Structure 1
């Protein structure tokens, strides 16, 4: 059994967090023993422990705006020192066959791997377009510190190679995967609707994701406003997610925008929930209207696994996931009118919703399964650790 050290930037349960959880849960079947390091306690830690995955909390030297500020850069050597000491303590003298940095935001593991001459994989979940120092600096960092770069979509790979063409031989695309979802719990789904005051015959359009400036919640409200003006009165718009600690003002800004819209009585916000499957079972249509390119889009394949038709912004990794007109609909990014047009097509036809939902479920099972992701990743890790 080979020991693989996985290092991640957070302990939440959003996109890259879920990817890590699903991935390491399947490693043992391929002769790989995952040891996971996180910077803090949180939902991900609890889920990993439930799965019997060894997980420890250590400083990981997270690369964020604070770290990349002038003061943060001055403190970076000390942060890296603490990270290396923490990793050494967590490893406790055991042989580590490979280090796996999950997201570009963690630097400590890359430096530890370099110092101890361990093979290092960087799993790239990001498309970073600005500022310029980040857009150019992070790909350079991957070229210098990674033996292999796993990109979660074609678009992520294109971004990385556009900035660092010499990474071509190191880079591989492995799509994220979704395992079998739990059986639908219709009483729980009915309870979600009842809690929100949604009638059984009303339609629900749902956006799941962290509340921030680019996930598209504001655009969702604008498009909902357009639909309301077109006469859609039995439609509810559900936003599920929370803001990062310290950015709660974004939720208040969103509530203010909702209050000023014509659909205020039909828009609902639910904080982050572990039971996302009941939310999908309570929904009729899923939307992913990100205003900046999504590197991948785990929410889209979750909705597809639930048999829901998906409306997505036509950029980034979502272009890999949703086949326009077959398993869902794409719309011109940042265009509220086009977004409303796509939702309208599905709202007007129960048959089309069912048809695209079934096609999406089949596409997810064939191309975006957890089995496929784990198998491809395990094969790569074994090839790097003879």
Structure 2
């Protein structure tokens, strides 16, 4: 008999219809590698590129809107308030109901800004893997952000030591794993790179003898350092007349983009620059370049662009921000890691490459080899295999009886919470005290309430008369219930009680 694979529900925080961000690309790569071990379903907030690509791989896709909590990533003090506000939103109930309907054995919540699926999963008693693809900002509230991730995760996967650094607490170290990104070499079609180089350079009007220095980012905004690239470019352009410069990306802040382009315009060098919007098929762009520059001004969680440049055999010059420094050390490329913000350092490194064709080619070849050894798919699969072996997979078992901080006990009945009116109702429903699962009050509030089960306890004086009129003798045999939920002793029948009173008077 063939055993079915455990079901994994994977939550992506975004699904861009225009371009694929690094986090989306890495998540889909991981899900693809998990398919031999899990039946994966991808949950996205809207239709977009990774949803289309996931369906091509045979992955079920669910479109479901879930609010993000950006202050968790930014380390802002109001992160808990924002989480609480989202738990009052109808989308919170819809999220819990979605997970309950899908009944996964395990959940993946992707990125620090996407805590709501992790919180819901933990409330439902489902193991949660929280994948961290960015470095939480260092603020006075970073420890609070780390504590939230610790509370609502069973396993943590970081793509670099930089992403895991804020989470290296005693409670999280045992459940943290480092799994850097990788790629599928065959899908980059190496046999087509030379032709792509010819085609793209012809399209951009770049001559064979010219050397093309590239900058690439799915979204162009200030933290991605385009301004620093432009400053490096105009300075090196004067020294190397054969150098040309390519910008690839989609401007998010048009004013900032125009300011950056103005650097070349003011120096009268616009004819040396080319710009194309984001290109999903990177194998058609990287081959055209001779040098790649990644001048990121933020602490990068990893730096997939730099790794891609190495995979395509290019010399890569980067600012030493977060994961970019790690890539440089791991691949022996430290000499081309420049202190963040040092545009003179960028210019010096790029100029040295442009001035020495043989060195440029040798460093590119060395980068390609090192990238495969350190980050190739075989290394990735070994790390992923070891991680999967640590997972404690169990089926989804929704609670049967549960309570919050209030004394009311509820029966979970087909997505509805029905309050049990008395201890007798609890017993007659066939439950035991050890079955009661205590859950946060927000969990109780999230579910619709159904009809109560059983009859409510009445006071001693009025209870017998009212119950007698409804249920005859059953009312006179009714058990009382203490406020704490334990049972009172049976009341003595009237004749025995009178005899006891008479005996007391005689004494």
Q: TM-score, normalised by structure 2?
A: 0.69
CA distance in 2, matches of 1:129, 1:381: 29
Secondary structure at 2:172's aligned position in 1? helix
CA distance in 1 between counterparts of 2:96 and 2:255 reads: 35
Q: What displacement does 1:298 show?
A: 0.7
Pair 1:77-2:84 in alignment: no
- Give the aligned partner of residue 171 of structure 1: 176
Deviation at 1:117, TM superposition (A): 0.9
Aligned pair in 2 of structure 1 residues 354, 46: CA closer, same or farther (>3 Å)? same
- 2:251 aligns with 243
Q: Give the aligned length.
A: 377
TM-fit CA distance, 1:113: 0.8
Shift of 1:18: 0.8
Residue matched to 1:342: 349
1:352 counterpart residue number: 359
Cα distance in 1 for residues equivalent to 2:376 and 2:113: 25
TM-fit CA distance, 1:132: 4.3
The alpha carbon displacement at 1:143 in A equals 1.4
User: For residues 261 and 18 of structure 1, what CA distance do their matches in structure 2 show?
Assistant: 37
Given candidates 308, 312, 335, the residue that maps to 1:306 is 312
**Using the alignment, how far apart are the partners of 1:10 and 1:110 within structure 2?**
16
| Bigger-Rg structure (1/2) | 2
User: Are 2:55 and 1:49 equivalent residues in the alignment?
Assistant: yes
Partner of 2:226: 217
1:202-257 deviations in Å (ceiling 9; x for gaps): 1111111120111111100111122134x21111111111134xx44333333334
Query: Which position in structure 2 is the counterpart of 1:139?
Result: 146
Q: Deviations over 1:37-83 (max 9, x none)?
A: 1111211111112222111111222123699889966742244x414
For 1:224 and 1:126, locate their aligned partners in 2 and report how far apart those are by CA, in whole Å: 28
Are the aligned partners of 2:331 and 2:367 in contact in 1 as well (CA < 8 Å)?
no
- Displacement of 1:94: 4.0
- CA shift for structure 1 position 168: 2.0
Return the alpha-carbon distance in structure 1 between the equivalents of residues 83 and 331 of structure 2: 48
Q: Which residue of 2 aligns with 1:102?
A: 110
Contact (CA 8 Å) 1:27, 1:378: kept in 2 or not? no
- Write out aligned runs for 1:4-83 (5 A): 4-12=8-16, 13-29=20-36, 31-64=37-70, 75-79=85-89, 81-83=90-92
Measured in 2, the distance between the counterparts of 1:58 and 1:360 equals 41
Q: Does 1:331 find its partner at 2:331?
A: no
**Cα gap change, 1:118 to 1:324, in 2 (>3 Å):** closer
Helix, strand or coil for the counterpart of 2:131?
A: strand
In 1, Cα distance between equivalents of 2:385 and 2:354: 42
Paired with 1:284 and 1:346, the residues of 2 have a C-alpha distance of: 9
Alpha-carbon contact 2:72-2:113 (below 8 Å) kept: no
Unaligned runs of 5+ in 2: 394-507
- C-alpha distance in 1 between matches for 2:143 and 2:314: 38
**Greater shift after overlay, 323-332 or 333-342?**
323-332
CA distance in 2, matches of 1:243, 1:98: 37
Please give the secondary structure, in 2, of the residue aligned with 1:122: strand
Using CA pairs below 8 Å that are at least 6 residues apart, which structure has the higher relative contact order? 1
- Tell me: CA distance 1:168–1:338, structure 2 relative to 1, closer, same or farther (3 Å): same
In structure 1, the residue matched to 2:241 is: 233
The structure 2 residue matched to 1:197, chosen from 205, 212, 231, is 205
Shift of 1:262: 4.8
Distance of 2:194 and 2:161 partners within structure 1: 36
In structure 2, which of residues 366, 372, 391 is the aligned counterpart of residue 384 of structure 1? 391
